[in-house]
Structure formats: C-alpha cells, structure tokens
Structure 1
Amino acid sequence: MTAAVISPTLPVLDVRGLTVGVRQQAGFRPILHDISFTLMPREIVGIVGASGAGKTVLSKAVVNWLEAPLAIDGGEVRFEGADILGLAAGDMRRLRRRVAYVGANPMGALDPTLPVGRQIVEKLMAVVPGSSRRESERRAIELLEAVRIPSAKSRFHDYPSQFSGGMMQRALIVDALITNPALLVADNVTQPLDVTVGAQVIRLMKELARDFDTAVLFVSSSLPVAREAASRILVMGEGRIVEEQATEALIANPRHAYTVNLVEQTPKIWSGGAATQPQATQSLETGSDREVVISLRDVSQIYRVKKRDSFAGVNEVRAVRDVTFDIRRGDSFGIVGESGCGKSTLMRLLSRLELPESGELLCHGGDIGKLRGKGLLDFRKRLQLVLQDPFGSLPPRTAVGRMLEEPLRAHGWRDRKVIRERVLKVMGDVGLAPELYEELPLGLSAGQRQRINVARALVLDPEILIMDETLSALDQTEQFKLLDLFQKLQREYDLTYIFISHDLAMVRKVCNRVAVMYLGAVVELAENERLFFDPGHPYTKALLSAMPVLETRRYQPEDCLLDGEPPSPIDLPTGCCFKTRCPLAFDKCDTISPSLMARGNRNFAACHLVTSQAAPPNSQSGGQPGPRETEYQSA
C-alpha cells in the first residue's frame, strides 16, 4: 500500500454550519443544527451521544450519502478543500476512492451469495479502472492479513455466513480501505464486537492513521470506546455539538450537563459505584441452599459440515465441549467470551432449540431433552428468550398489543378481557405506555423495541430469562435504563437470569456468577468479585485488559491483549487450547489439557498455573477436586 500525498497543514474534512432534516408536507423538520468541525490528516476524532442525537445522520452526510426524505438545508462539507455536497454524480463516484464508510451491521453489508474476497475485488476494480483481477486479489489478501484475518488466502473464498461477526467487521474495514482513502468514517463499528476484537479494530485504525495518513471520524455510542480511539471528542445531543474537548480533558472535566451525565452513567468496574457489589445478589440467599433450576452435566455439541473440495467428507465443529455448571434460583448468571466461543450454541441448548450431542441438560432435575408434548410446552413457558436485535425480532406490521397477546393465546388463554389486562400490566412493568397497545413498532426507538421484547418474554410469567446480547445494540443511556429495569423485574417476578454477553461492564453490574468460555469450553467459573479482581485464567485477564473504561485499568493491554482469532474448532490443538495465544504458556501446556481446578469455594479455573486450593466441604475426591465434584458439592 502506498500512502496518499496529503497536506499535513490543511484539514481533510471541514464541516461548516451543516443543517440536515426531513422534508415533509408540513415543512422541514431539522435533525442536525449548525454542525461545524474539522478533521486533520492522521487525526482520529470521536463523536459520541445517545440514540437520536444525530450521529449516524452526520456520518452519512459527511460522505454525501443521504437519501430522501433526508435533505441538507444549509452548510458545507469540504473534503480536501472542495465542497462535496454540490458534486455531480460522476464526480462523486470518483470521490469514493478517497472517502470510505463502515457501518455497524457487518452481517447485512455484503451480498450473502458471493464470497467475501470476490466482493472486495469487484469494488476495487469498479472504482479504480484498469486494475487487473490478479493484482486486485493480491491487494485484497494483503489487506485481509493486515487486519489479522486468520488464513487470509483461504478465507478470501469464504462466504459472509462463514465469517464470525468480528471477522466480518474487519472484512468491511478492508472493503473500505481497499482504495487507500484519505477519510474513513467508522459508524459504531465496534458496537457489535466482543472486547478483544473491538480493541484490535481500534488498534488497527490507529495504525492506519499513523502509517497511511488516513483521517478517521469515529462515531460511537460509548464514551469509553471513543476514549480508546480518539484524541479529540465531539459530544452530540439533540442534533447539536454540545461540547468539544481533547479526550482526556473532556473525561476529567466535562463542562456540559449532557456530557457530565454520560460520564456518570458509565459503569465503574474496579472503583466505586453500584457495580462494586452486584445489585442482583443483595436479596439472594448465600451458599448452596437455593434450589438448582438449571444443571449442565458434561454437555457437548458437534456440528458436521461438508469439507471444501470433497464429495462426501465432513468436518466436525466442536462448538461446545464438556460444559458443566449449576444455575440456582435467583441467580444472575453471566456467560462471556469472544465471538465464536460457543455462547450462542450454549443458548440454543439451554432453550432446547437444539439437543446436545452428549451430556445432560436438566431443569429442576428433569432432562429437557426428553420433554415432549405438554411437558415441552410447560418448559417453553418456564424459560423465555430475549434476543439481541431490537429491530429484526419484531414483526413490523403487527400491533404491539397483538404481539404480546400471541404467547398467551398459544398457551391456552381465551378470555379477551383477561388477556388485555395481563398485557397492559406487563407493558406498565417494563415502562411501555398503554397508548402503544394499538401502535405498530415502526418509528419506535431501539430501547422501546427492546422493552417490547422483554414484555413478550414476561407475559407468561416465566421462571428463567435468557438474555442473549440483549443490550449490545443499544446506546449507553438506554443500557443504563434497562439494567435498572432488569433488576427491578427480578425482584418483582422472582426471576433467574442467564446473561450471554461480550459486554463485561454490564456483566460486572448485574451478574453474581460468571462462566468464561473459550473454544467451546468453560475455562473459568467464578463469583463476580473474584473474577474481576483476581481472575484465575490468562484468557479472563486478557478480556478484562481489553475492556474500554474511564477509570484506571487494573490489567494492562500490552501485557494481556490477544491477537487474531482463536484456533479453529475443527482442528483443536493438543494440550491447552489457549496456548497459541497465551503469554504464559510453557511445556506442559503443549501436551496436557487442563481441567477446572478449585480456587476456593465456588471459584474454578482451567489453567496449569492454578494451584488447587482446599476442596469445599463434602468433597469426596481426597485430592485435587474435579469440576463436577467441586461445583455440585460446594457449600
């Protein structure tokens, strides 16, 4: 790659008095008001704010990518000195070589019917006439390797469905960078990613800015994430820039009330704040006298996929490997790990959307794999899911009340008056106005839609709620509100939560126990305080070091941060599966796979460096306790 020649003294992007809104019959309704800022070569500027602040509209306006009914009502967007808003279509197409945009929906951004590499090559050949296919393929593979896609030459031919979310986001960055742009607009690119991949993406953007003079406009809903990436931050509220400061100065001394609120709502991990003691544990009994509601006993799941260039050969993907733990009544149990570690597969097993290849999954002592007929229907009522996507999970042409009535009707409710009373009660519990009963979800905010999903799960009065990345699509303010709502609902409904998430700050705030997964296996199982202040596995420490925070880090990224993707679950390495990425690996790790070792009461880690502490009361092992003995016989 050859760096573009750009004047280091002139701004790459100069926005002056930009006003954008919606043209309607009733007139013009502004969304952005008089926005002005500059962006210099090699500079990364962050834009933060809640949903509805206008961040995405601004990010598309600066690349001249607005569609009706959105329209620009005034101002200029000067790129390398020229106002791009008045450019003809042909000139704008040529400009696309110099300006790139990456959004927050990696899985929906590429054609699912074409290999990823082919799509990147076709873009390069379209915007750089005269490029040969061979040279374009070489350039694409070179960039895929630069963003740390493992086995880039092989993955070049894979389809989007074969990429994890983290790899897809990096592939989109390659798609954006293939023409060596002078300006990269990154709109919430780390929001759908786990913390380690997000940290790698931010590090990559810093390298691009440094090595290739690329200026980056980094849009984010998270102030800690923007802090990691940007040297200067613009805070947006209600379509206006309410504050602009150097990053560290803004965090240390926010001036505007809106910024002060953003800083105060950022969860604290290691210092002060409500997160120090998870609120979910305050009303719970301690010890093992609480009833076990879910038990996993050596649960494994294997998928068989056709080998490439083979007629009948198959590969075995070991998605979940020998997972064993208990979840007790009233728990807020967290399951964390990188993309592809097996979290979602475990969710499908817990909810009986799939049956395990081996092992037992018990609910109140009964094997859910053997449930049929009414027993299965009763289990569906007892355990409910709240999924990640607040937009795609709701039927757009069904009224809110009708959506919430359907589960009741499916479970035999017939009295219309009773059904309506139940639905309105639950809507009130989750903070939805009764006026929304007859409304369609179109036009509702992401937070309102996610409250509908929570209400749809609660309407049957379940015992267990599985939250699969439920908050990952929401901004920091909405997350803060919903976390408080979840804790209130747990008290009122006597709920047991299972949080599946890559957001460790959220897990710190609400979960009393946490399982850390790597390559399908649980590598650490610990109580909240022990996990965050004294992790027993190097992988857990790496996850904690990659967390974007506003406070002083307890673990430093340079000591712990992981590179690349985990090994393939098709071809697991011998010995410890984490050895290829572990800074502490030694000879024993090459040949022996560690089992979970006790680190005191109810805390375990699968690492050879763990010195097994005394077995809990009632352990019959007489030596170092195994995972099943320690977990199910602990006090």
Structure 2
Amino acid sequence: MTEIIKPIFSVDDLRISFATHDGEVEAVKGVSFSINPGECVGIVGESGSGKSQTFMAAMGLLAKNGRAKGDIIFQGHHLLSLSTAELNRVRGKNMSMIFQDPLTSLTPHLTILEQMREVSSLHMDLSREETDRLCAQWLDRVRIAESKRRLNQYPHELSGGMRQRVMIAMSMLCQPSLLIADEPTTALDVTVQAEILDLMDELKRESGTAIALITHDMGVMARMCDRLHVMRRGEYVEEGLTEDIFYNPQHDYTKMLIDSMPRIDSPDRQHNKNQMPIDESVSGADFLKVDDVKVHFDVTVGGGLWPKKLPLKAVDGVSFELRKGETLGIVGESGCGKSTLARSVLQLIPPSAGSVCWLGKPLNGLKKEELKDKRKDLQIVFQDPLASLDPRMTIADSIMEPLQTFSSLSRSEMKEEVLKMMDRVGLDRNMQNRYPHELSGGQNQRVGIARAMIVKPKLVICDEAVSALDVSVQAQIIQLLMDLQQEFQLSILFISHDLAVVREVSHRIMVLYLGRVIELAKSEDLYANPVHPYTQQLISAVPVPDPKIERERKAIKIPGELPSPMNPDAQLKFLPSKLKTEKKGYLPKLLEHSPGHFVAEHDALDQLLAQD
C-alpha cells in the first residue's frame, strides 16, 4: 500500500489584491499548490508576476493596503486567520524566509551578532556563549571570511553579497521545517551561490526541510527543484515536474523564459553572431591603455588607544589595453576589485599608482575641468539604476542632463534628442514626464543606458548593468547594448559576476582575483580551455538551465578558508607551494600561456584539491 504524504504547506484559491489610487490591483488570482516535507518546489516568473506576494501573505507581511482571500495551511495552522502573536510562534522557527533585499530586512542600528542573537533567543534555548558560537559557525558555512569580526559589524559595513549571506544564515539558524527562499542567490557570486544551494539541499535531505524557491533563474531551478510552477500576471500558466517543464514546455511564456537564459555551455547564441568584428591588427595602446593601476585604501583595524591602519589593496597592479569597438568582459567575485577598477579608469577614484591613458594621453593628474572635457566620451551604466537616478527629476530630465553639460543645443533641440534616444532604447515617449519610482527595474535600466548613450560616447562601462533584471529583460538589454555598439562603434568594459552573460557579449575576458589579473584571453579560448584553477572553479559553479546536465555536473571546490584581502599571503591561495620558499607577500606573475592567453602562476589543480 502506497503511503500518502501529507503536505506541510498548502495554498487553496489564494487571491491577493491591493487598494491603490488607480483602483484595486489584483496581484494573485486564485492560485493553489502544496509542498511536501523534504521537497523543493520552484515558483518561477518575472518581476510583478505575484511570486513573492503569495509567501508574504503566508508570513503575515502583506503591505497595509493588501488583502488576502483563500486559505494557507502550514502544519495544520490556517495562517491567514492567525493573530500576530500566534504567527510569531510559527514563523522564524518552523517557517523562515530569506528575503530578496537584505538591506531593508536587516536592522541598521544593530550589529549582525545582535540580530542573530534575537532570532536565537526567541526560538532556541541556548546560552549566550552557545548562541555566539552557533552564529559564527553559520557565517562560516555561508562563506563569510573573518566571521568573528563580521559579527560585530553593522549591515552598512558589509557588501550586498555579504548582507545576503547574513540573511541566509539567520534564516537557517533554527533549521526550519519550511524555508521560503525569495531570490536567495541573485546578488551572490557563482561559487557562493553554489555553496548556498548545497546548504539548502543538505537541509532538505538531512532535516526533511521543505523549500519554496522563488526565482527567475532557470539554472537554479534546474538544479534544485522537484516540481515547478510558472507564474505570469498573478496566475500559474504551467506546472509539473521539473524535467517535464524543461524538456516539454507547453506554454509560450515558459518557452520564452527557458530560451532567454544565457547558457555557459552554449557558445552559439544570437548575441555572439551580432558582435562587432574587431580589427586585431590595431593595438589598443592608442585607445585605452591601463598600466599597472593600483588602488589602495587604509583600513583601521582594532580599537582602543592604538588602532592599526592596514592597507586594503582593492586593485593591485592591473594592466590591459582596449581597442575601438571591443568588449572586454571583467569577471570575478565580490571584493575582487571589478568596480573599483572601473571607477579608477574613469578617475572617479584616483589610482594610488599606475597610469590610465585615453587616446594616447594620460588621464591621471588632470584637473577637474580637464577631466570634464574627457568625460563626454567616457560613460558608465551602474548596477542599480534607481540609486543612480535623481528621484526628483523626470525621466526626460535625467536623460537630458549630459546634454546640458556637454552640448550647446537649445532646450527644444535637447528635448528632441531625448525623445529619439527613448525610442532607440525602447522607452515609450509617454514616460518622459514620469519619475524613476514609477518605472520597473528594466525600464530604469534603459533610462540609465539612454543617459549614457545620449552624448554618443566612445567608451561605456557597464557595471553589473543586467545582474538584477529578469531573464527576458536581461536579454533585451544585452541585445540593445550590442546594437548600440554597432551603431556608435562603442568600446565596452562589461563587468559582471555572471559568466554566462559575459560569454555572450565579450570579445576578450579578464578574470580578477583579489585585485589582480589571474587570466586574460579571448572569450572562446577562456571557456574552451580555462587554465587557472580559479577560472575553472568559477565556470564549474555556473548553473545550466538543463536538469539532467546540471545535476550531473560537479562544481570544483578548492579546500581552505576564503582568504581575507587584508592578508598579505591571500594571493597565494592558488600557489601555496610558494608560501615556504618565497618571501612574505610574493605575488604570482602573469605569464603568456599561449598567444594572447595570459595566466597567473598557480599550482596544479590536482595538487590544490589534495590539500588538507
């Protein structure tokens, strides 16, 4: 007789609506589903589809203007009818949620340890010493270096990726029966993402934890989920076993989601075919040349009467050339110096040493007015468009701002240029008088691109410009950048931690590790033959949107703690054989492995994997 498994969590005809100035908006339109113990169910869809609101209702966290109808049952509790006090006994310990935006979920005036202690004191009977030890262990498990020091820091002192890992550690602290993960790895590096997904999978297998995984990343879904629900505009348009959804999708929306995902194992995507060919006989030295650039910061360590100042080497001797019309991808994990390098190229952060030459002339040491003249040709698209747009300015005014600085056009002429550029980047002209908060993330990113392109620059730096976007919007933005590159003969520095996206857009790729270049090669060479163990580790950790392939792949995991950039020997993680034979602070040399393919000194991968 087959054992009947009773769901741990079930939703029946759930409807969620919000009262707005424009009338009632129905965000969730009668969805029903269940999750069994030890099962991972994925809810996939793009922004605004209603994925998160379903579980916000379950946690009792709907906005004040929200209203939920239907039934949500967790371990026999009808959640929608519970009081706040009754909900508090359920959520946090037995039902926990990893939120998408950690900065709004963490209390800014409390240290990380104080916030983790709060969770422990509410739900676990542990001494202060046991609690502190458990908190440090969880920060270690989510790969936060120097966990004991980080516990005494405040959220604003941590990077976005670190804050997300803190949220994950807090959510897993009590080993809940149901873990709701809302885009838990969007802001994380691929190796950290792989570690977090392994942790969640381990929790599922060993503790029977049920997982509701909310994301737009089909690669993560392929790896983690037993069943999938595809959500669009508040409704489920397709549901079934993960393999069935991937290999035999029925709905056009599902097919679009799968087709839009960049694949690191597929080099023949359309974007590559549209890439602008590069004249390899022309050197980049006369266009953009970066030579041995260093950016060091003094960091105060310790308190008391005699605190120490130690150098943080964010960028530590990076050199490269960029040719006209070329895209150079810059990849690496959080803290490797990608964004700092970009800002030093633009002189937004003055380099501590080294030089940046633009069109044969140095940018270093130029006065503010001299730099201003150069910046018409040097533009940047930031990771978070909402944070880089003035909330008090309309979309048209934001796009027009560079024209007001760099052109002598009349107001009406500038307005016409703005409207043309809005057409070019796919923004409706009717949006010109709207404000950033009235637009979606993808629309605001288009505004950021329009603002950068309006003065027809020669170099654009895209700093994680597509990392937070839905896959279909991401594909549109990438295609837009490629089209604009051909139209304006742009050169692009494309910074990302998403190696699959970088593969699609780049002619060459530079891999950074703790502020230094550890591999530089043509895109096809790097992916076909990654030489450095760190590059191999990064590529092996990128999820592939194919359940069979993804579940058979093995990520390379090199033993050892995540090194601190403050440690002078951190650079030798991949060259430990030099630790005893060389003087302290030895830096691996960048050597030419084959024509155009440069690799930093390293020990063999087998030797690194065999470390204790």
TM-score by length of structure 2 reads: 0.92
In structure 2, runs of 5+ residues without a counterpart are 605-612
Superposed CA deviations along residues 489-546 of structure 1, whole A, max 9, x for unmatched, are 1111221111110011111111101100011100000101001111121111111101
Aligned match for 1:430, one of 421, 425, 428: 425
The letter for the 2-side match of 1:17 is D
* 1:431–1:451 CA contact under 8 A, matched in 2: yes
Q: 2:440 matched to 1:442?
A: no
1:21 corresponds to: 17
Q: 2:349 matched to 1:361?
A: no
2:244 corresponds to: 249
Superposed CA deviations along residues 95-146 of structure 1, whole A, max 9, x for unmatched, are 2232211112234432333321111112332x23875433432332233233
Distance 1:417 1:554 in 2: 54
Please give the residue correspondences for 1:10-409 in structure 2 after superposition, counting only pairs within 5 Å.
Answer: 10-24=6-20, 28-72=24-68, 74-96=69-91, 97-125=93-121, 127-128=122-123, 132-271=127-266, 273-274=268-269, 277=272, 279-281=274-276, 283-289=277-283, 292-310=286-304, 311-409=306-404
Q: 2:442 matched to 1:419?
A: no
Structure 1 pair 25–417 and aligned structure 2 pair: CA distance change class (3 A)? closer
Structure 2 counterpart SS, 1:314: strand
2:591 corresponds to: 597
CA RMSD of aligned residues (A): 2.5
* 1:291–1:329 CA contact under 8 A, matched in 2: no
Superposed CA deviations along residues 302-350 of structure 1, whole A, max 9, x for unmatched, are 1101111352420111111111110111011110001111111111111
Structure 1 counterpart SS, 2:287: strand
* 2:541–2:555 CA contact under 8 A, matched in 1: no
Structure 1 counterpart SS, 2:212: strand
Distance 2:314 2:405 in 1: 32
Structure 1 pair 26–446 and aligned structure 2 pair: CA distance change class (3 A)? closer
Superposed CA deviations along residues 217-268 of structure 1, whole A, max 9, x for unmatched, are 1111111121122122111112111111222232111122211121222223
* 2:265–2:544 CA contact under 8 A, matched in 1: no
2:534 corresponds to: 539
Distance 2:263 2:270 in 1: 6
Structure 2 counterpart SS, 1:381: coil
- How far 1:589 sits from its partner (Å)? 9.1
* 1:279–1:510 CA contact under 8 A, matched in 2: no
- How far 1:575 sits from its partner (Å)? 7.0
Structure 1 counterpart SS, 2:468: coil
Aligned match for 2:469, one of 466, 474, 493: 474
Distance 1:596 1:129 in 2: 51
* 2:222–2:550 CA contact under 8 A, matched in 1: no
In structure 1, runs of 5+ residues without a counterpart are 1-6, 580-584, 611-635
Distance 1:378 1:10 in 2: 68
Structure 1 pair 395–505 and aligned structure 2 pair: CA distance change class (3 A)? same
Bigger drift between 266-275 and 61-70 goes to 266-275
The letter for the 1-side match of 2:312 is V
TM-score by length of structure 1 reads: 0.88
Structure 1 pair 562–455 and aligned structure 2 pair: CA distance change class (3 A)? farther
The number of aligned residues is: 596
The letter for the 2-side match of 1:239 is G
2:610 corresponds to: none
Distance 1:143 1:175 in 2: 8
- How far 1:209 sits from its partner (Å)? 1.4
Distance 2:552 2:558 in 1: 12
Structure 2 counterpart SS, 1:370: coil
* 2:256–2:472 CA contact under 8 A, matched in 1: no
Bigger drift between 327-336 and 42-51 goes to 42-51
Superposed CA deviations along residues 275-309 of structure 1, whole A, max 9, x for unmatched, are 6946324x332333567422111111111011113
Structure 1 pair 276–21 and aligned structure 2 pair: CA distance change class (3 A)? closer
Distance 2:100 2:457 in 1: 33
Structure 1 pair 477–590 and aligned structure 2 pair: CA distance change class (3 A)? farther
Superposed CA deviations along residues 12-64 of structure 1, whole A, max 9, x for unmatched, are 11111111122247753311111111111121111111222111212312322
1:633 corresponds to: none
The letter for the 1-side match of 2:468 is A
Structure 1 counterpart SS, 2:438: coil
Structure 1 pair 599–493 and aligned structure 2 pair: CA distance change class (3 A)? same
The letter for the 1-side match of 2:34 is T
Distance 1:491 1:577 in 2: 41
Distance 1:506 1:315 in 2: 36
Aligned match for 2:453, one of 440, 451, 458: 458
1:615 corresponds to: none
* 2:95–2:178 CA contact under 8 A, matched in 1: yes
Q: 2:606 matched to 1:606?
A: no
- How far 1:272 sits from its partner (Å)? 5.8
Distance 1:448 1:168 in 2: 26
Structure 1 pair 142–94 and aligned structure 2 pair: CA distance change class (3 A)? same
Distance 1:589 1:354 in 2: 36
Structure 1 pair 57–103 and aligned structure 2 pair: CA distance change class (3 A)? same
Distance 2:107 2:17 in 1: 30
